[in-house]
């Protein structure tokens, strides 16, 4: 497993699919988004078991959301974000697919589409915060920032971080048009 710096995003967009796609059967699987507020719940999502960072530590300064299979708490990806007024955007602090969906850890991923869904969640939160879907973050390396520019029409800013990117309102709308999931009132 590669060791990415905290505060960088290392998720590849492996498919533009409305819902998650089972990589073995091709079946489309519906998803929901759940907000996680309990540190005790997040303690089991950490570096030791393939989640790259200790997610409980991120809860102090971030809102954390999980992409789950509909009707379950089977987490397929996590995202930590901060709405930042000065940026007029949501800052993506960290995002990660479940180890079973991470090509760095497994030969064959369980689901395709997790990364795109995580970006769509950030766009949703940006809209709710009054930023019209604008999001920003720091990619882990040049190859990833170029991937986000090609896939989502992001701009490579490189101001605060060498691989800082920005997805404006117009490109954010395109992301939202593709991905489908439900928001649940349930919190963990």
Which residue's structure tokens are 């963990």? 188
pTM for this entry: 0.94
Q: Is the pLDDT of residue 15 over 50?
A: yes
Residue 14 is assigned to a structural domain of this protein: no
Range of 72's domain? 20-187
Q: What pLDDT does 18 receive?
A: 92
80 vs 113: CA distance, rounded Å = 18
Q: Is the pLDDT of residue 13 over 70?
A: yes
Total number of domains in the chain: 1
153 vs 103: CA distance, rounded Å = 24
Domain of residue 119, CATH code: 3.40.630.30
Residue 92 CA to chain centroid, in angstroms?
Answer: 8
pLDDT one-digit tens code per residue, 119-169: 999 999 999 999 999 999 999 999 999 999 999 999 999 888 999 999 999
Residue 5 is assigned to a structural domain of this protein: no
């Amino acid at each position: 497993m590669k060791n990415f710096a905290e505060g960088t995003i290392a998720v590849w967009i492996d498919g533009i699919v409305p819902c998650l796609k089972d990589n073995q059967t091709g079946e489309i699987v519906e998803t929901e988004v759940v907000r996680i507020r309990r540190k005790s719940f997040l303690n089991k999502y950490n570096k030791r078991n393939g989640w790259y960072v200790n997610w409980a530590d991120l809860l102090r300064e971030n809102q954390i959301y999980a992409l789950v299979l509909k009707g379950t708490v089977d987490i397929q990806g996590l995202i930590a974000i901060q709405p930042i007024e000065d940026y007029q955007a949501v800052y993506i602090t960290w995002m990660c697919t479940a180890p079973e969906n991470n090509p760095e850890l497994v030969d064959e991923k369980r689901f395709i589409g997790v990364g795109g869904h995580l970006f769509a969640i950030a766009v949703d939160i940006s809209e709710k915060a009054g930023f019209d879907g604008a999001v920003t973050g720091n990619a882990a390396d040049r190859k990833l920032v170029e991937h986000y520019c090609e896939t989502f029409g992001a701009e490579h800013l490189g101001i605060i971080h060498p691989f800082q990117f920005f997805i404006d309102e117009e490109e954010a709308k395109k992301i939202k048009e593709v991905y489908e999931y439900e928001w649940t009132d349930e919190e963990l």
